[in-house]
């Protein structure tokens, strides 16, 4: 079949070529204006105005179009000049391969990798067997019904946090202590158990100290609460008056509303009404002042209230501060140091020494901060200790006494903080003044309280 088709195509091509040659010989002299190969013949005014048969033209557009549509323009390949001339190659002449550096493998590294791989394969085999067992029992979730979404997964054979401490891959031999790993350098573990300090809840606190912080209310909220309380009390009083349990209160008459409240009576005798209104205003003022005095705390109650707050502050935590003062020769300074420590309910000692003075205070946070402001800001340590006595005559001094004036003298006296922090317990039972003549006596005094290092630390500053 293929040979017959090829012969037939050859015969067609030969006949087309002969027809073209015959047409050119026949119509060449008659129609010189027709140009071979054009799609449309150009007329020159000569000939019979007969077009050439399409097959007799030099180039057939239909054939050429069918041939071009099937083929695509070929892209030009990249020209490599080194392919034809190796002398223009700019690549380095030495070999591009670099030898790998010498690397030593630790002893047993691949053995461990192989062991891990075998363990992994063993686990996969166990998982596969368990899956087959579940599938045999009909416990495998059906994927088509989306049962896997709501069925909880089974726990693993061993949790990841227990793997470093057990030699097996399951918990079957958990009671055997020889299978435990307790000497792992990467994850050390001991047999000791840390028991944290037991903290009681607020309602079971044996000390009975309520550590809860009350809710803070803004100024508007407090004002609204007072207003609501007044409204409730006023409503209760109105109810008692309606029930007849209390007599109705007298009208609150003032000079400004005198004519509006007491209209007829004020017209008849205005002077008597005015005097009566003034007396009522005075009585109300006296009652108001008496109520304020009744609500005031006495001196003992004030001290008790302050002491209770200081005890609450001390129950929250014990703080301490150590001060170093160069000189306490000024009696005013010594008085302020002593009295304020007692007023703030502080514990500690003021150790006086010819070289310098050491002040150790312990107490609540608020009291410690108040005492710190006194020593660091309020007391002027630069006040001198020399004094002048007024009065030239001895009789005048005997009769009127001596008035001492302490002059300002910048002698370099100062107060510095040596150490401050928090303590687990109190080291002192009270506040006291003590004296020492040298370093040895000062250290012996502080050694009784276990604080001899304070003196060494202050001496090094």
400 band by pLDDT with thresholds 50, 70 and 90:
very low
pLDDT at 422: 94
Which CA distances in Å does 451 have to 363, 424, 428, 454?
16, 14, 10, 6
**Average pLDDT of the residues in 61-65:** 49
Which CA distances in Å does 265 have to 168, 258, 259, 274, 389?
108, 10, 9, 11, 74
pLDDT at 299: 92
pLDDT at 33: 44
Domain spans of the chain? 2-68, 155-208, 219-285, 302-389+402-460
207 band by pLDDT with thresholds 50, 70 and 90:
low
Distance CA 50, CA 31 (A): 8
pLDDT at 344: 93
To the question of pTM greater than 0.85 for the whole model, the response is no
Which CA distances in Å does 413 have to 306, 327, 388, 409?
33, 6, 20, 9
pLDDT at 209: 57
**Average pLDDT of the residues in 42-69:** 55
Mean pLDDT of all residues in the chain? 79
Q: Is 2 helix (H, G, I), strand (E, B) or coil?
A: helix
pLDDT at 217: 93
**Average pLDDT of the residues in 287-300:** 94
112 band by pLDDT with thresholds 50, 70 and 90:
very high
Read off the pLDDT of residues 334-393 as tens digits, 9 standing for 90 and up: 999 999 999 999 999 999 999 999 999 999 999 999 999 999 999 999 886 555 444 444
Neighbours of 176 (CB within 10 A): 11
**Edge-to-edge strands, sheet with 357-363:** 415-423, 318-325, 357-363, 347-352, 431-435
pLDDT at 398: 33
Fold of 302-389+402-460: Alpha-Beta Plaits (3.30.70)
28 has a pLDDT exceeding 60: no
**Average pLDDT of the residues in 445-454:** 92
pLDDT at 192: 77
**Average pLDDT of the residues in 32-50:** 49
- The whole-angstrom distance between residue 107's C-alpha and the CA centroid of its chain comes to 47
Q: Are 363 and 447 in contact, with CB atoms under 8 Å apart?
A: no
**Average pLDDT of the residues in 297-313:** 92
Instruction: Report angle CA 261, 263, 269 to the nearest 5 degrees.
Output: 115
- The whole-angstrom distance between residue 218's C-alpha and the CA centroid of its chain comes to 27
pLDDT at 271: 85
403 has a pLDDT exceeding 50: no
**Average pLDDT of the residues in 170-182:** 85
**Average pLDDT of the residues in 312-329:** 93
442 has a pLDDT exceeding 70: yes
């Amino acid at each position: 079949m293929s040979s017959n088709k090829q012969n037939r195509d050859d015969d067609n091509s030969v006949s087309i070529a002969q027809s073209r040659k015959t047409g050119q010989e026949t119509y060449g002299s008659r129609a010189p204006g027709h140009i071979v190969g054009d799609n449309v013949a150009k007329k020159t005014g000569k000939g019979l105005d007969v077009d050439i048969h399409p097959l007799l033209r030099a180039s057939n557009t239909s054939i050429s179009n069918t041939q071009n549509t099937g083929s695509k323009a070929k892209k030009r390949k990249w020209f490599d000049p080194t392919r034809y001339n190796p002398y223009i190659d700019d690549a380095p002449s030495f070999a591009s391969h670099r030898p790998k550096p010498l690397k030593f493998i630790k002893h047993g590294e691949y053995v461990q990798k192989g062991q891990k791989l075998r363990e992994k394969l063993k686990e996969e085999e166990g998982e596969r067997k368990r899956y087959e067992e579940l599938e045999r029992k009909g416990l495998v979730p059906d994927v088509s019904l989306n049962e896997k979404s709501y069925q909880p997964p089974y726990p693993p054979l061993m949790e990841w946090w227990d793997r470093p401490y057990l030699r097996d891959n399951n918990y079957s031999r958990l009671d055997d202590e020889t299978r435990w790993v307790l000497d792992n350098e990467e994850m050390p573990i001991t047999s000791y158990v840390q028991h944290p300090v037991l903290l009681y809840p607020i309602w079971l606190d044996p000390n009975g100290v309520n550590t809860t912080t009350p809710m803070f209310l803004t100024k508007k909220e407090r004002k609204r609460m007072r207003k609501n309380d007044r409204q409730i009390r006023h409503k209760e009083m109105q109810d008692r008056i309606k029930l007849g349990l209390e007599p109705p209160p007298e009208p609150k008459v003032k000079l400004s509303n005198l004519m509006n409240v007491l209209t007829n009576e004020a017209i008849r005798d205005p002077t008597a009404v005015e005097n009566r209104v003034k007396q009522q205003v005075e009585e109300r003022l006296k009652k108001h002042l008496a109520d304020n005095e009744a609500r005031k705390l006495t001196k003992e109650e004030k001290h008790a209230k302050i002491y209770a707050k200081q005890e609450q502050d001390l129950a929250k935590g014990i703080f301490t501060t150590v001060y170093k003062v160069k000189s306490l020769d000024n009696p005013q300074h010594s008085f302020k140091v002593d009295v304020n420590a007692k007023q703030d309910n502080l514990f500690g000692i003021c150790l006086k020494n010819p070289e310098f003075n050491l002040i150790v205070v312990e107490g609540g946070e608020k009291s410690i901060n108040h005492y710190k402001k006194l020593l660091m800001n309020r007391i002027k340590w630069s006040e001198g200790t020399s004094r002048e006595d007024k009065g030239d005559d001895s009789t005048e001094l005997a009769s009127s006494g001596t008035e001492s004036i302490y002059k300002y003298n910048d002698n370099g006296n100062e107060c510095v903080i040596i150490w401050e922090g928090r303590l687990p317990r109190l080291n002192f039972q009270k506040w006291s003044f003590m004296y020492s003549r040298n370093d040895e006596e000062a250290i012996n005094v502080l050694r009784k309280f276990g604080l001899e290092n304070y003196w060494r630390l202050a001496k090094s500053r």
